[in-house]
Amino acid sequence: MSAYDELMERMKDIDLISQISGLLSWDQEVIMPPKAAKLRAEQLAYLSSIKHEKMTDQNIELLLDELEKNTNLDEIQMGNLRLIRNSYEKATKLPNEFVIEMAKHRSMSMITWTEARAKDDFSIFRDDLEKMINLVRREADYLGYDDVRYDALLDNYESGLTVSKLDPLFKNLRDNVAPLVKLVIEKGEVPDMNWVMKNKWGKKGQENLSQRISEAIGFDFNAGRRDSSTHPFCGGPNPDDVRWTTRYSETEPFGSLYGSMHETGHGMYEQGRPRNLDFQPAGKANGLGIHESQSRLWENQIGRSLEFCKWSLTLWKENFPENMKDVGAENLWKSVNIIQPSLIRTESDEATYNLHIMIRYEIEKKLISGEIEVDDLPRIWNEMYDEFLGIEVPNDSLGVLQDVHWSMGAFGYFPTYTLGNLYSAQLLSAAKKDIGDINKQIQDGNFSPLLEWMREKIHARGSIIEPAELIKEATGHLPSSDEFIEYLENKISDLYGFDGNLN
């Protein structure tokens, strides 16, 4: 067996452990009995420990040292070595006892977060959150950083991402998008939403609508499934087993549908990964920013377009015949694109969404640096929602407890949502140049050309090259906010009849 083949066999062992852990985590969030929480924490901690031991085996470093001297490696092999080297160096910086402690606490913390959110009682989650913050600070210190501690955590989710890169990016978005939001609030006409608010939206109808649309845009349910959970997510071990969830509310149907389209976008990316690279690092999805580009593309740029509303109106009427009796495609389009500050990130509009991310980003920087502590969180959260979005937070379930990420220790994750928004607009702009009239294709319910373009340009490329390079390869230039801002300006002009005059 060659050194490369031996290294790939070791990576397969490690990946299988990750796949098993992923299934246990899915079970925990979807169907696990509450009393099983302590046992599940032990199970996940055990798997994390075994995975860490295998990843830090000195033989991996010896194999890497030998292979990195080879000048005849192909693109895939070089990608694998780059990714394995990065993972090995990070893993060897984390003590095994720390990995076990983090895995146990992550499992328990998610349980207390779920209870705290359901009961609107921050105190239930308070101690576990404090411990998680301290664990994440330790993790950043183990990993090391050049400028600020938070940089070590950002790099876990998007290679090379730093505060120095994000701060100007968020400033540019705020400077360009905030005036658009202000214009809409001051001059935009709010559509009549009585048809939504006066009706009840049954769960069965929402489930069927989500299922039909997910199938139509390209998710293969023979290789995946849909369920419900407190916080929508997408998981599963490999392209043959991809699982996503959504949640339902009888007072409005948009959260479940667009949550479903969001997770379907993630799921189609997972199903499209290169099968010849199963179990290899280069065969995995290319960072969370790229992953988020796929979910935001289908949720927003496609799902909230006028053309999609024209196509999907028939499905709406089939599942809610009484509610949709007098609703036309344009009314539906305007209703799903209302631009106004809101409390819930996952249900916010495209224009204000990044403001939600900015709030979390600013809070996380201060938490990780030690500038603020856990008891400051509810107050600071509420103050920042007032400052950034101009709205009052009525309770912690709709405020500081609304997202699952901190219970998982996923600090540094949120900024990838904004990167996903930027990437999705840039990718769609490039796709339009290659595959013709996408708007007509969407209105006809023909989603295959766009999905196949994404399969070729993004999904099939795995993680062979760095995320920024993948965007450049697919679109012709490095990541930029220009296409996203242009997309928002055009959409707002169309929605509110501003005739291109956004001043």
Which DSSP helix (H) or strand (E) runs through 227? strand 224-228
Token pair 């031996």 is found at 6
Report which of 165, 223, 39 is spatially closest to residue 480, judged by C-alpha positions.
165
Return d(Cα 261, Cα 71) in angstroms, integer.
44
Using DSSP bridges, classify how beta strands 224-228 and 234-238 pair: parallel, antiparallel or unpaired.
Answer: unpaired
- Element of type H or E holding 238: strand 234-238
Helix 122-143 / helix 350-369 crossing angle, nearest 10 deg: 70
Instruction: Give yes or no: 263 in active site.
Output: yes
Give SS3 for 332.
Answer: helix
Q: What is the C-alpha separation between 38 and 417, in angstroms, rounded?
A: 31
Please count the residues of the chain: 503
Gap between the Cα atoms of 85 and 294, Å rounded: 27
The residues, any chain, with a CB within 8 Å of residue 325's CB and separated by 6 or more, are 317
Joined tokens for residue 483: 């296409």
Q: What CA–CA distances, in Å, run from 468 to 2, 81, 359?
A: 32, 18, 24
Sheet holding 224-228, edge to edge: 224-228, 241-246, 234-238
Of 29, 263, 350, 364, which is the active-site residue? Answer: 263
Give the active site residues: 263
